[in-house]
A and B are shown apart, each in its own frame.
Chain A
């Protein structure tokens, strides 16, 4: 059964329509990837799911419940965790304060101590850096804080917007290693990624976005074995 269900979603900024009739289903416990060229609405899709951008039409359901008319804080409470593009850490706070804010809601705060241990076990670098101010961290460390902060919320689905953006290749490997471990633990994950070939090797399911809607969906293995899909939409 699908945990996240998007139907006929339309959204945009001002007069600019970005999502046009977007439909998408994410199965519980699966590792899904949303790929496609820049500027075709991948980030906007995540931002609309988490309520930062208002949906103009269509609906979004989480475990059967409509969430598209809720405020962002209510959507977080419903179980959507969105790790935004570029991390958006709280720059003047320490790593620990950033992580604690991930568990801001009462339902998450009760599990904060346990989750913090889990986050430090998964991302030991953060334990070393916990009293360091976020703005002084390296790009890779910042990305880890962003992901760790998302994990602190618990939630039912983890949405990661371009976790590899702006990182050195070796750091990208580390980050994707972490994402794969999260996926292996049974978490539902939706990753937005520019590098479709790379994510296809990991993801259960690929969703190719073209001009605000899903142009192709299928298993990662099929995506890899049919290069014509990629060339048709990415011109590659």
Chain B
């Protein structure tokens, strides 16, 4: 029972962190067919902004989180305006933006390295202590991460399902040209989606760094997992990505417990290969819609 609670708590926390960054990735792919390879660097940048605001400026935690999300949104918007938009008309957009965002990621990572140095730093955005559940102490930090992630996912679900902006995002993702013919300004949709995804990446970066510390390269692992989750769920499928993120988080915790940390990622990838052989379009993916 104690082990069960421990593994579940750690799995849910992992899954929640993955879900927040994966959803941003899935939204961007769904709307623009753009794989944002700078996502990992955005994650790290968010973590460092929060660190800077709290540690150097001495401001309270909510300000740090908010500042990180605003900076993340601004970076996402900048990537759209400066890089994605000029390439959108190109028939090779998907390849070009993939390569371009790898470059942006490297630049951002180097900026972090310049500003904060290569030494690991502790994320000040942490809650001390824990709560006893079934004989196990679950850290408040994990519970906070879960709660924030749940609120964020609910917020994104509300945005997509209940608002006019969300309707425009879904329409654009399902048929770019039809959305334009309905009067949707797709350039604005793209900008909103990248800003939102940048803010979510920053938030995810704060969560990850609150558990494992700040490093300029800290985004690489969560980004890789976010991609894996996106592919498992079916690229561009937002609700599927959230479910797959939680499942993979729990799975990772279970594998870590049974086989040890060093095997977790290898076994995870083996399972993913299995899933993709069984369902090439992902667990929740649909066959490519025929566009005439």
Contacts and interface: CB of A to CB of B under 8 A. Distances in A.
Contacts of B289: 91, 135
A201 B170 CA distance: 40
Interface in A57-98: 71-73, 76-77, 81-82, 84-93
Interface stretch (A99-107, A186-194, A204-212): A99-107
A82 B180 CA distance: 10
B183 interface: yes
A75 B170 CA distance: 21
Interface string B159-191: 000001001101100110111111111110000
Given A93-B174, A101-B171, A104-B167, A88 B183 contact: no
A164 interface: no
Contacts of B291: 86, 88
B178 A71 contact: no
Interface in B273-292: 286, 289, 291-292
A84 B183 contact: no
- Of B168, B187, B289, chain A has the most CB atoms within 10 Å of the CB of B289
Contacts of A102: 182
B174 A153 contact: no
Contacts of A71: 185, 187
Given A85-B292, A104-B168, A135-B289, A50 B174 contact: no
A51 interface: yes
A76 B171 contact: no
Contacts of B179: 101
Given A84-B177, A88-B177, A93-B170, A153 B183 contact: yes
A127 B182 CA distance: 21
Interface residues of B, number: 22
A81 to B, nearest CB: 8
Given A88-B291, A93-B170, A73 B183 contact: yes
A121 interface: no
Interface in B127-172: 164, 167-168, 170-171
Contacts of A77: 183
A89 B183 contact: no
A52 interface: yes
A86 B164 CA distance: 26
Contacts of B286: 92
Contact of A105 (B170, B174, B183, B292): B183
Nearest to A43: B292
A89 B178 contact: yes
- Of B174, B179, B183, chain A has the most CB atoms within 10 Å of the CB of B183
Contacts of B174: 90-93
Contact of B181 (A76, A93, A135): A76
Contacts of A87: 292
A101 B292 contact: no
A50 B178 CA distance: 11
- Of B164, B170, B174, B182, chain A has the most CB atoms within 10 Å of the CB of B182
Which 10 residue pairs spanning A and B have beta carbons closest together? A86-B292, A76-B183, A72-B180, A88-B178, A105-B183, A90-B174, A73-B185, A104-B182, A73-B183, A101-B182
Interface of B: 164, 167-168, 170-171, 174-175, 177-187, 286, 289, 291-292
5 contacts: A84-B177, A87-B292, A91-B289, A105-B183, A135-B289
Given A76-B182, A82-B181, 18 more contacts: A51-B180, A52-B180, A73-B183, A87-B292, A88-B177, A88-B178, A88-B292, A89-B175, A89-B178, A90-B170, A90-B174, A91-B175, A93-B170, A102-B182, A104-B167, A104-B171, A104-B184, A108-B183
